[in-house]
């Protein structure tokens, strides 16, 4: 089965630093998402992306967050100035169409010190 690939699997950073989390969605998919999961909590929606623009974003996705699809294969999440509370597992997901099966990557564990 095709997979969503995320790198790195673990990222440790200092508070205030910028991080970029990378994802390679499944090749024929058109809708891309970022979710996050703080340890012991629910998986939370961050942002959806379609046709090279943000479709929807949550309250969590403030001005410190941005997403980009710099080429035909990568989908990135940038956090400009990380905070301690940004520590979480970040999942990328993609789907071919709305209401179709949503595939998740294995996640990037972000630790902000």
Partner 1 sequence: GESVGLHLPTLSVQEGDNSIINCAYSNSASDYFIWYKQESGKGPQFIIDIRSNMDKRQGQRVTVLLNKTVKHLSLQIAATQPGDSAVYFCAEADSSYKLIFGSGTRLLVRP
Among 44, 64, 66, 74, binds partner 1 (CB under 8 A): 44
* Cβ pair 19, 12 in contact under 8 A: no
Q: What is the DSSP letter of 47?
A: E
Distance CA 113, CA 103 (A): 30
Place of tokens 């891309």: 32
Q: How far is the CB of 25 from partner 1 (least distance, A)?
A: 13
User: Residues binding partner 1: what is the number (CB under 8 A)?
Assistant: 23
The residues binding partner 1 (CB under 8 A) are: 4, 6, 31, 35, 41-45, 48, 55-56, 91, 93, 98-99, 101-107
């Amino acid at each position: 089965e095709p997979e969503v690939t995320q790198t790195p699997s673990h990222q440790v950073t200092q508070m205030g630093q910028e991080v970029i989390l990378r994802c390679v969605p499944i090749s024929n998919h058109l809708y891309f998402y970022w979710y996050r999961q703080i340890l012991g909590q629910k998986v939370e929606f961050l942002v959806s992306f379609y046709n090279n623009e943000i479709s929807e974003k949550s309250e969590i996705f403030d001005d410190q967050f941005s997403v980009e699809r710099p080429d035909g294969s990568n989908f990135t999440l940038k956090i400009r100035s990380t905070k301690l509370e940004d520590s979480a597992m970040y999942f990328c997901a993609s789907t071919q169409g709305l209401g179709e099966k949503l595939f998740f990557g294995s996640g990037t564990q972000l630790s902000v010190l």
